[in-house]
Amino acid sequence: MIKAAIILLLVIVVWRWALGSWPWDGLFAQPGREAELARARQLLGVGRKAGREQIVAAHRRILARVHPDRGGSSEAVHEANAARDLLLAELPGGGGPGGAKGADGSGGDDAGDAGGAD
């Protein structure tokens, strides 16, 4: 009995090493859009309830690691950008890369101070 458990454990570890996924991952596969969202969340390291600020902060952390100027690849940057865009689009109200605020988080109003001193 113990021999069978050890053999099973070794098979599972070899499976993970050789294929890069656990044997039971296929059992819980999510169809279509949900699978894309799950992959985006995993890539950025955020949970299902992550808000805009958490998604943007996670995206910045990932870019700091995978940017070509830091030894990463442009493909990894594109994947991180796509994950961010997908998750922001799923937020209530649409979000989008710029969301209700500007891309820099300034609120989107670049007109300056309308009531400035003369």
Residue type, 94: G
Q: What is the pLDDT of residue 27?
A: 72
| CA 76 remoteness from chain centre | 11
* Residue-range domain boundaries for the chain: 31-99
pLDDT at 30: 60
Give the DSSP per-residue string, 38-75. Answer: HHHHHHHT--TT--HHHHHHHHHHHHHHH-GGGT--HH
What CATH number labels 31-99? Answer: 1.10.287
pTM for this one?
A: 0.55
Token pair for 84: 């961010």
In this prediction, the residues of the chain whose per-residue pLDDT falls under 50 are 99-118
Q: Count of CB atoms within 10 A of residue 101's CB?
A: 14
Give the model's pLDDT for residue 21.
77
Residue 116: what pLDDT?
A: 44
